C-alpha cells in the first residue's frame, strides 16, 4: 500500500485550514497537488527518498510542496501544517461533512463561537448562536442543524457503479419533462471517476421554476435538501443529487464548467487569459479590448457558450473528452493535435475473465455463453478460479477439476454462436508462483493470473514474476484492491507495465465497480510503456457483462485507444496475441 493517499490528505487538510483563514491562491495550489499525489502511480515515499527532483516530477508539485513531502517522511510531520493546526484547532474533516459548512464557515464558527467539533457545532446551532454571526441567519443555522445528523452517519464516497445508474434515472426522468431541453450529468460522475461525492445534473430550460418544482416532486426523492429559483438538491437514499437549470444559450458553457475538474478548468482559464479571453460558466468572452476584465462575469464580447464544443473551439482547441479533464496534460496534447482517439464502449468485442457455477459464479457455462452472445460479444473466455491462497470457501478448482472443465467448455463451444476460449483465473502466490500445474496451464487457451491475498507491502516483484511465467496471458486486477473496503498492495506501475510489454502479457482493467483495477492514472502509464490492456468484467452472471462500460471509461481516463486493448480485437486477433 502506498502512502500517496496519506500525504494527499495532509495537503487537503492544509488547504482547508488556510482557506478557513481567507488565504488566497494557496488552497487551490495545495488541492491540485493533493489530487495528483493521490493518483500518481508510483510510491511517493520512494520518490521522497530520492530527493526533491523525484517528488517534483509529480504534476503540480513544486519545490515548496516537494520539500514538505520530504520533511514529512524525514520527521513525521510538516511544520507549517502543525502551525496551521495550532492556529485553527478544529476537526476540519468532521465539520465540513455537514451540508453547507465549508472551510471558511469553519473559520467563522471557530473565531466567533469557539466551535471545534461536531458536538460544538450542534450545541451552537441548538442554542441559536450561529444566526447571531454576521452573514448568517436563522435559515443558515437550521440548514446546518438539519445536516448534522446525516453527517454523523454518512458513508464514504459512493461507488461509480452505484451512482451512475441513479444519475441515469434522473436523466430519464427529465426526458419526460416537456419544459426541459438538453440535460446531462456533470461533475465527477460525467468524468467517470471511481467514486462519487454528489450527483450533479444540468438541465436547459426557459422555465426554471417549473423544472425545479418537477424535480423536487420526483417520486424517487426521499428528501428535498434545498430548492431555489434555478437550482435544487434532493436526496435519493444516501445520495445527494444537485440540479442546476440554465438558459439554452448558456447550457454548453455551464456543462463545461460544472463537469470540471477544477484543475482542468483553472488551466483552461489561464490559457484563455493568455489569448485575450475570459472563460466561465456563462461562456467565452473576448476581453482583449476590455480595460478591466474582472469587472463582472459577462464582461466583453461573448463568442461561445451554447454548446460545449464551442467553448473549446473558441480557444482553438478540439473538444476534450470529459474523462480526460483531470489536468494531466490534456490541454497541451490538444494544442499539439495529439489527443488520443479514445476507445468506445462498442469497440469491446469480448470478455476474457468471467466465472461460472463451477467456482463462485451463479450460472452454468452454457448460460454464460448464451448471455454473452445476447449481450453482443463475439467471444468469451471461461476463467473460473483455481485453488490457491486467498480463495475462501473451497470455490477454486484443482488441476483435475480444471481438466474436466476444459472438456465441458469445448463441448459447449461446439454448439455456441460465439467463440469460447478455455481459461482459468489462477492465483498468484506470495512468491509470484502460479497455483496451477504447468501441464494444465499448457492445455488452456487463456491464463489470467491475479493476486487475492498477501496484499500488504510492495507487490512489484511478485507481479513481475507472475508476468514472466510463460503461460500467463493476462495479469488480473493487479492491486487486488476493493474500493472503500481495502486498498490492495502497492506496486511500481511503470515497472510492471514494462515487464508486461516485454513478455506479451495484458494488464487488466477489472470493470467490477468494486475494483476498477487498473485505474485511470495507472492505465495512462501502462499505455505509455506499450503494455496491452484487457478490459474484463470478472462477471459472475450474464447481467454483469454490462459492467464493461465502467472498464471502458476507466480506460478512457487513462487515454487508451482501441488499438491498446486486447479484447477490442476480433477472436483471431486475440489468438494471435496468445500465441
- Residues 504-563: pLDDT tens digits? 999 999 999 999 999 999 999 999 999 999 999 999 988 899 999 999 999 999 999 999
- pLDDT for 1: 43
User: Looking at the predicted structure, is the pLDDT value of residue 155 above 60?
Assistant: no
* Partner residues linked to 279 by β-bridges: 284
- Separation CA 441–CA 427 (nearest Å): 12
Using left for φ > 0, alpha for ψ between -120 and 50, and beta otherwise, residue 51 falls in left
3-state SS, residue 55? helix
Instruction: Provide the grid cell at 422.
Output: 478455455
- The pLDDT tens digits for 281-330 are 999 999 999 989 888 899 999 999 999 999 999 999 999 999 999 999 99
Q: Maximum distance among all alpha carbons in the chain? A: 81
Q: Quick one: 297 exposed, middle or buried, by C-beta within 10 A (0-12, 13-18, 19+)?
A: exposed
- The pLDDT tens digits for 93-103 are 888 878 778 89
Contacts for 520 with CB less than 8 Å, ≥ 6 apart: 39, 194, 323, 326, 554, 557, 558
- Separation CA 370–CA 335 (nearest Å): 46
**The pTM is what?**
0.78
User: Looking at the predicted structure, is the pLDDT value of residue 485 above 90?
Assistant: no
Instruction: Specify the DSSP element, H or E, that contains 564.
Output: none
- The pLDDT tens digits for 54-69 are 999 998 899 999 999 9
**High-pLDDT (> 90) share of the chain, %:** 78
Higher-pLDDT residue of 156, 16: 16
Contacts for 281 with CB less than 8 Å, ≥ 6 apart: 250, 253, 254, 257, 258, 297
3-state SS, residue 224? strand
- Separation CA 79–CA 64 (nearest Å): 13
- Separation CA 464–CA 491 (nearest Å): 10
Structural domains in the chain?
4-153 (1.10.150.110), 158-246 (3.30.460.10), 261-335 (3.30.210.10), 345-578 (3.20.20.140)
Helix crossing, 548-557 with 520-528: angle to 10°?
Answer: 60
Helices then strands, counting H and E runs in the chain, come out as 25, 17
Give the angle subtended at the CA of 1 by the CAs of 456 and 520, to the nearest 5°: 130
Between the two ends of the chain, the Cα-to-Cα distance in Å is 34
Q: What is the DSSP letter of 384?
A: P
Q: What is the DSSP letter of 98?
A: S
Amino acid at each position: 500500500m502506498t502512502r500517496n493517499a496519506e500525504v494527499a490528505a495532509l495537503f487537503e487538510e492544509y488547504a482547508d485550514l488556510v482557506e478557513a483563514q481567507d488565504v488566497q491562491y494557496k488552497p487551490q495550489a495545495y488541492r491540485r497537488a493533493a489530487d495528483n499525489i493521490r493518483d500518481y502511480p508510483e510510491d511517493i515515499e520512494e520518490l521522497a527518498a530520492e530527493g526533491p527532483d523525484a517528488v517534483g516530477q509529480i504534476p503540480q508539485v513544486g519545490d515548496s510542496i516537494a520539500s514538505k513531502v520530504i520533511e514529512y517522511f524525514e520527521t513525521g510531520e510538516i511544520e507549517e501544517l502543525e502551525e496551521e493546526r495550532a492556529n485553527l484547532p478544529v476537526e476540519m474533516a468532521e465539520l465540513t461533512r455537514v451540508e453547507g459548512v465549508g472551510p471558511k464557515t469553519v473559520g467563522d464558527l471557530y473565531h466567533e463561537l469557539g466551535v471545534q467539533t461536531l458536538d460544538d457545532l450542534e450545541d451552537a446551532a441548538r442554542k441559536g448562536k450561529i444566526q447571531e454571526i454576521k452573514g448568517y441567519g436563522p435559515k443558515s443555522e437550521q440548514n446546518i442543524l438539519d445536516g448534522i445528523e446525516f453527517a454523523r452517519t454518512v458513508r464514504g464516497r459512493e461507488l461509480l457503479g452505484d451512482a451512475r445508474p441513479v444519475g441515469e434515472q434522473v436523466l430519464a426522468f427529465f426526458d419526460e419533462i416537456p419544459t426541459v431541453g438538453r440535460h446531462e450529468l456533470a461533475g465527477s460522475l460525467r468524468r467517470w471517476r471511481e467514486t462519487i461525492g454528489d450527483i450533479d445534473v444540468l438541465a436547459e430550460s426557459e422555465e426554471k421554476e417549473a423544472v425545479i418544482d418537477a424535480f423536487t416532486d420526483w417520486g424517487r426523492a426521499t428528501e428535498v435538501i434545498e430548492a431555489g429559483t434555478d437550482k435544487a438538491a434532493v436526496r435519493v437514499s444516501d445520495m445527494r443529487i444537485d440540479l442546476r437549470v440554465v438558459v439554452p444559450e448558456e447550457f454548453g458553457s455551464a456543462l463545461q464548467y460544472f463537469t470540471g475538474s477544477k484543475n482542468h478548468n483553472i488551466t483552461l482559464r489561464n490559457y484563455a487569459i493568455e489569448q485575450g479571453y475570459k472563460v466561465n460558466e456563462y461562456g467565452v468572452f473576448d476581453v482583449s479590448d476590455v480595460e478591466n476584465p474582472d469587472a463582472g462575469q459577462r464582461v466583453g464580447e461573448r463568442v461561445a457558450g451554447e454548446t460545449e464544443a464551442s467553448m473549446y473551439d473558441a480557444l482553438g482547441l478540439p473538444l476534450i473528452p470529459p474523462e480526460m479533464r483531470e489536468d494531466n496534460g490534456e490541454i497541451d496534447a490538444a494544442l499539439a493535435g495529439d489527443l488520443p482517439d479514445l476507445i468506445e464502449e462498442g469497440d469491446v468485442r469480448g470478455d476474457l475473465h468471467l466465472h461460472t457455477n463451477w467456482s463462485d459464479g451463479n450460472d452454468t457455462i452454457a448460460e454464460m455463453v448464451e448471455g454473452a452472445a445476447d449481450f453482443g460479444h463475439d467471444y468469451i473466455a471461461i476463467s473460473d478460479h483455481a485453488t490457491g491462497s486467498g480463495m475462501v470457501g473451497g470455490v477454486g478448482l484443482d488441476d483435475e477439476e480444471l481438466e474436466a472443465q476444459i472438456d465441458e467448455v469445448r463441448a459447449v463451444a461446439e454448439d455456441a454462436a460465439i467463440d469460447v476460449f478455455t481459461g482459468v483465473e489462477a492465483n498468484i502466490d506470495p512468491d509470484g508462483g502460479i497455483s496451477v500445474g504447468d501441464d494444465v496451464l499448457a492445455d488452456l487457451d487463456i491464463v489470467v493470473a491475479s493476486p487475492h491475498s498477501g496484499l500488504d507491502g510492495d507487490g512489484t516483484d511478485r507481479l513481475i514474476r507472475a508476468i514472466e511465467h510463460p503461460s500467463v496471458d493476462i495479469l488480473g486486477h493487479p492491486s487486488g484492491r476493493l474500493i472503500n473496503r481495502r486498498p490492495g498492495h502497492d506496486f511500481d506501475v511503470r515497472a510492471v507495465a514494462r515487464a508486461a510489454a516485454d513478455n506479451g502479457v495484458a494488464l487488466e482493467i477489472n470493470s467490477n465497480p468494486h475494483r476498477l483495477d487498473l485505474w485511470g492514472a495507472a492505465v495512462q502509464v501502462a499505455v505509455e510503456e506499450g503494455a496491452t490492456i484487457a478490459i474484463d468484467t470478472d462477471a459472475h452472471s450474464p447481467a454483469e457483462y454490462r459492467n464493461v462500460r465502467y472498464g471502458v471509461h476507466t480506460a478512457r481516463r487513462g487515454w487508451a485507444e482501441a488499438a491498446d486493448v486486447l479484447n477490442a480485437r476480433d477472436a483471431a486477433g486475440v489468438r494471435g496475441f496468445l500465441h
